[in-house]
Every structure is written in C-alpha cells, then in structure tokens.
Amino acid sequence: MMKIKKTASSDAQKSKVKSEDKIHEEIEVMKGMLARTLADYDNLKRRTEEEKISWTKFSSLSIISRLLPILDMLEKGQEHLKDSGLAIAILEFKKVFIEEGLEEVNPKIGSEFDENTQEVVEVVDGKVDNMISEVVVTGWKFKDGNVVRHAKVKVTKVNN
C-alpha cells in the first residue's frame, strides 16, 4: 500500500511541476508580448511627436513664405528712406523668423557660390569664376538645413 501512495504522491508532484513549468512559460511569453507592446507604444509616441513637429513646421512654412516678400519690400524701402520705425519693423520680422527656427542666408560678397542655399540670377564679368558679386535678395532656411528660399545672387565669370 505504501508504494501506491508514494507513486500517487510522486505523480501529483510531477503534475504540479509540469503545471508550474507551463505557468512560467506563459509568464515568459506574456513578458515578451508586454515588452513588444511597450516598444510599439514608444515608437508610436515618437512618430506622433515627429509628425506633430513636421506639421507645425509645414504650417509655419506656408505663413513664412507669404511674409518673406513683405519683408523684402520693407528692406527695399529702408534702403531709400532710412527710417528708424521701418528698421524696427524689419528687426521684429526677422526676430519672429528666428524664433520659428529659421536663419537668414546672407552670403558675403566675394565668397564662393553655394548652390545649396543660393540661386544665380545674373552672371557678370569678373576675375574669378563663381564668386558672389552682389546679393539681390537674402534667403532663409530652417536650422536643420531645409531651405525656405534661396538667396538670389549675381556671380562672376571670367571671360577670355
């Protein structure tokens, strides 16, 4: 009779161990699922934030593109009038653009032409090829490098 009890108790222990092993396996599977779900959530959160920034930048770009010609007119007027009120308005425009993450592209006369941020509007005679002889209109770009408007420049070309 003792052997039967030992076998029954041994079978019960084996069954209990198998049951515990199965539970541990299920726990590990669920931990893996939880880790993947958390990673998916983090990726979704990051993508959503990136899209939000992108849409904000896009909407800013639309408004900025419409305001740049107005700034150009104010600057042309300032060249002729030399008005302090107009100068303040120009500075405020530029301040807003900078706060929106833009920086001015204002190449130096005598510097080499850069096709990434500049556009040639005229080629003039010069002593060296591809040097900027005049900045017709300044450009603007986002700090990440995306150009909103290329600076319009005149460049030199050697004529032999």
Residue 158, CA distances (Å) to 61, 106, 124, 131 in order: 38, 24, 9, 10
pLDDT at position 27 is 94
Residue 107 contacts residue 136 (beta carbons within 8 Å): no
- The first and second tokens of residue 29, run together, are 């599977």
Strands (E), 66-142: 102-105, 118-125, 132-137, 139-142
> Could you give the CA distance from residue 57 to residue 54 in angstroms, rounded to a whole number?
5
CATH code assigned to 103-160: 2.30.22.10
pLDDT at position 159 is 87
Break the chain into its structural domains and give their ranges.
1-100, 103-160
List, for residues 75-128, the tens digit of each pLDDT value.
999 999 999 999 999 999 999 999 988 999 999 999 999 999 999 999 999 999
DSSP secondary structure of 41-62: HHHHHHHHHHHHHHHHHHHHHH
Q: How confident is the model at residue 141 (pLDDT cuts 50, 70, 90)?
A: very high
pTM above 0.85, yes or no: no
List, for residues 34-62, the tens digit of each pLDDT value.
999 999 999 999 999 988 877 777 778 88
> Could you give the CA distance from residue 140 to residue 101 in angstroms, rounded to a whole number?
10
> Could you give the CA distance from residue 135 to residue 151 in angstroms, rounded to a whole number?
7
Q: Which residues contact 72 (CB under 8 A, 6 or more apart)?
A: 137
Mean residue pLDDT of the chain comes to 90
pLDDT at position 8 is 61
pLDDT at position 3 is 54
Instruction: Look at 5 and 64; give whichever has higher pLDDT.
Output: 64
Instruction: Look at 26 and 57; give whichever has higher pLDDT.
Output: 26
Give me the residues paired with residue 147 across strands. 141
Q: Is the dihedral of CA 115, 124, 121, 77 positive or negative?
A: positive
